[in-house]
Chain A
């Protein structure tokens, strides 16, 4: 059965194909979470030409073809684009979709009635919550995919297809991890969004949500906002850079007169009680530096997530923990705290690993789900790393931004073929 996607046609009979118009967009997928809306889409881009070995590929239709059953398909080159918006500003997202003409970016089954056109894959709770809004505003029908399914398929996809996706962060050193496809499973996936989900992944599509916690990114931002009046998550992270948590946190040394509680392996600098010093009657919130507050908060939440993660890894004998979601954003202190918690408490048995495209797992999973259901499958042939000109998720600095105009600067070059 042939399915037809707007813009991408397959025509194996005559050996040629009607090419996508350059930069034509398809396969828009959304992950609408509690705090952020994540968006991915594919655009055909003739000018893209570099693969990870540096070899150039010809422009236009590629002579390369891929075989599947008795048919072969042309490989199309283009990019997967990423964007995100705050859920409370969903209208900005709608506007973005409209302005980028992503409206017709869905794929639709040619046998479906006209009214079913413009079906977009969407995951996350917002796929339910905002279904009507998308319909009314853009005439888009949201085809709902399960959030956990998408997280896992997005993670598996990234780990297998993208060259430098996962990395460890220890002692200030970032190191990319070589993933052996045969040795990927099982692993623990910890997605830190507004809240946290922890999934034990055993294979493609094989997983179980084993745990989670309600102390997540939303908690950091929410408490941070109340305590410091920061306007954004990034601002809060920025503040924490200059903070000193010893002002606010009660350390073991504070309790034991400067000493360690060495009998139980607690160094004097170990935090005994987060915010434990803030009980002082002489000081009010205004008397504390917001930098210190932000730092203590970040430490508290990162450490807690690290702890619950390693306890679950231990529980199931999992050696690798991949952290996704937009909480981390390549922030050194966050990664360090989580890594230390995992490594130390598991006695080196488990390792914390971070993902460059951390926040887009769900959206990518939704993107991948076009393959099934007889939609015009966009099989992703090869994802090639493309150095992007601006935003980057690696390194110490925070580069992400929720401003609409900076969206869309992240993209991954890839080649696809359609079936």
Chain B
């Protein structure tokens, strides 16, 4: 499917710590097949508009792209090449209330929204409307979590039953999606692991409080890892860890207790007593250690620590569920296992770690959603239905989608695509995937 060049608007989450996350919507060209599809959806669902004006159902796609902050220029080039900032609504297709596209405002959140405001103005002539980062994180999380809760609607072609999968647990290599009752969603603890970590108690839509955080986060892993292993990127560092053995670096309980457990206090011999505790030996220097082992020890140290502090805060506020988001995790199985282990260990099994499939884009999507409250356009997001086949690779580092022309492809890490139907006022929209063979959609 080709993208049209018309983009509605885009939202960016610029963490400025290390990553820029961009969400934009592109509208499909009107094609007969789309109309037919739309019509049949309407029919199937018996959507009527009653006395209201008839609003077109707009089909399009929501795109998710990320860039390293140091590659801000590539991000700007990307926006420019796709003319995302010139988009605005095509007045042919929208109602006449479409705002003029003169003064383009882009929603942005994260620290970089402040930092890069001038740059965006110079390069693209756009103003940045800064949204509070926490607001966006929470809105994004609630949005994704609510995805699960939407009503099944009919589908046109379906390969398998609708499964709305956003939250999942990940223990010992095993992933399991979690169904959460809408009435039972709040309150929860949202732990966003970016360069640093924020821990947010979420009580409802727009109701939250940043209760804690830690400065030992993704930036620490990357920074320390870079110093110790000379890795060029976060992904390289993670990759290394997969072949590591931390026993050469960490001091385990068994190392202190002559191979035994310290069972009286419930510590097995393989429990880490002191991360990096073994490297005090005079005989070995940094060069004598394998970078794989170092990376693994670092990853465990930081993941355990985050898991522990998260649990202590969940306990403090009586929260049963902890959702972990942020790009530190990036779908890395071992990281999720380690965090899960830590939460389980420290809580004696009382609490469980959960992850969100769209972990890295919570803020960007939250910023996207924030158009609603400002009335900047009439995009209202009420409810979503999403379908996609199991195993759709929406997380991870691979590049999907059509080539992006002249742009340096290394700058684009990840794009996952949904197709979005938008009903302009008052209803909702549905998702389609671009994966072959699975199409569904719903509007209401």
Q: Which residues of A contact B (CB under 8 A)?
A: 33-35, 88, 124-126, 128-131, 146-148, 193-195, 197, 209, 211, 213-219, 221-223, 225-227, 229, 231, 248-250, 255-257, 259, 263-264, 270-279, 281, 284-285, 288, 293, 300, 303-304, 307-308, 311-312, 314-315
Instruction: Assess whether B17 is interfacial by the CB under 8 Å rule.
Output: yes
Among A197, A214, A271, A293, chain B packs the most CB atoms within 10 A around the CB of A214
Is B262's beta carbon under 8 Å from chain A? Answer: yes
The A/B interface has a contact count, at CB < 8 Å, of 209
Distance in angstroms between the alpha carbons of A304 and B302 in the assembled complex: 11
Question: 10 A-B contacts, Cβ less than 8 Å apart?
Answer: A88-B281, A194-B274, A214-B273, A214-B275, A215-B305, A223-B276, A255-B16, A256-B115, A278-B226, A285-B228
Q: Please state if B196 and A273 are interface contacts (CB–CB under 8 Å).
A: yes
Which of A130, A221, A222, A256 has the most chain B CB atoms inside 10 A of its CB? A222
Of the candidates A33, A221, A222, A293, the one whose C-beta lies within 8 Å of that of B249 is A222
Provide the residues of chain A in CB contact with B79, threshold 8 Å.
Answer: none
Contact of B256 with A125 in the complex, beta carbons under 8 Å: yes
CB contact list, B239-285 vs A, under 8 A: 249-251, 253, 255-260, 262, 264-265, 271-282, 285
A219, B219: Cβ atoms closer than 8 Å: no
Residues from chain A with Cβ under 8 Å of B279 in the complex: 222-223, 225-226
B348 → chain A closest CB, angstroms? 11
- Report yes or no: B195 in contact with A259, Cβ–Cβ below 8 A: no
Q: Per-position contact with A for B379-408: 1 when CB-CB < 8 Å, else 0?
A: 000000000000000000000000000000
Point out the residues of chain A lying under 8 angstroms from B227, CB to CB. Answer: 227, 275, 278, 284-285, 288, 293
Chain B residues with Cβ below 8 Å from A34 are: 251, 255-256, 273-274, 277
Beyond A275-B223, A307-B214: 12 further Cβ-contacts under 8 Å? A35-B251, A124-B256, A125-B253, A226-B294, A250-B219, A264-B134, A272-B17, A272-B195, A272-B196, A273-B196, A311-B312, A311-B316
B352 to chain A, nearest CB (A): 19
B18 beta carbon closer than 8 Å to chain A = yes
A231, B210: Cβ atoms under 8 Å? no
User: Are B195 and A218 in touch, CB under 8 angstroms?
Assistant: no
Which residues of the partner chain A approach B228 to less than 8 Å between Cβ atoms? Answer: 226-227, 285
Question: Quick check: is B25 within 8 A (CB to CB) of the other chain?
Answer: no
> B63 at the A/B interface (Cβ < 8 Å)?
no
- The reply to whether the CB of B419 lies closer than 8 angstroms to some CB of chain A is no
Whether the Cβ atoms of B313 and A213 lie closer than 8 Å is: no
Interface residues of B (CB under 8 A from A): 15-18, 70, 111-112, 114-115, 132, 134, 195-196, 210, 214-220, 222-224, 226-228, 230, 232, 234, 249-251, 253, 255-260, 262, 264-265, 271-282, 285-286, 289, 294, 301, 304-305, 308-309, 312-313, 315-316, 346
Once A129-B258, A213-B305 are accepted as A-B contacts, the answer to whether A273 and B278 lie under 8 Å apart by CB is no
A125-B253, A215-B275, A315-B315 are known contacts. Are A273 and B301 too (CB-CB below 8 A)? no
Cα–Cα distance between A248 and B214 once the two chains are bound (Å): 16
Inter-chain contacts of B226 with A (CB < 8 A) = 278-279
Tell me the nearest residue of chain B to A293, going by C-beta.
B227
Give A216's nearest chain B residue, CB to CB: B274
CB-CB < 8 A to B195: which residues of A? 250, 255, 272-273, 276
Chain B, Cβ-Cβ closest to A229: B285
Residue with the highest number of chain A CB atoms closer than 10 Å, among B217, B256, B260, B294: B256
With a cutoff of 8 Å between Cβ atoms, the chain A residues found around residue B265 in the complex are 148, 197, 209
Bound together, the chains give a CA A293 to CA B265 distance in angstroms of 35
User: How near does chain B come to A107, taking the closest CB pair, in angstroms?
Assistant: 25
In whole angstroms, what is the CA distance A88 to B282 when docked? 9
Contact (Cβ within 8 A) A273 B217:
yes
Cβ contact within 8 Å between A226 and B276: yes
A221 to B278, CA, bound (A): 9
Residue in contact with B257 in the complex, picked from A125, A231, A304, CB distance below 8 Å: A125
Cβ B280 vs Cβ A218 within 8 A: yes
In the bound complex, how far is the Cα of B130 from the Cα of A259, in angstroms? 14
Q: Which B residues are in CB contact (< 8 Å) with A256?
A: 111, 114-115
Q: In the complex, what's the smallest C-beta–C-beta distance from A152 to chain B, in angstroms?
A: 12
Q: Chain A residues near B132 (CB, 8 Å)? A: 263
Nearest neighbor of B228 in chain A, beta-carbon distance: A226
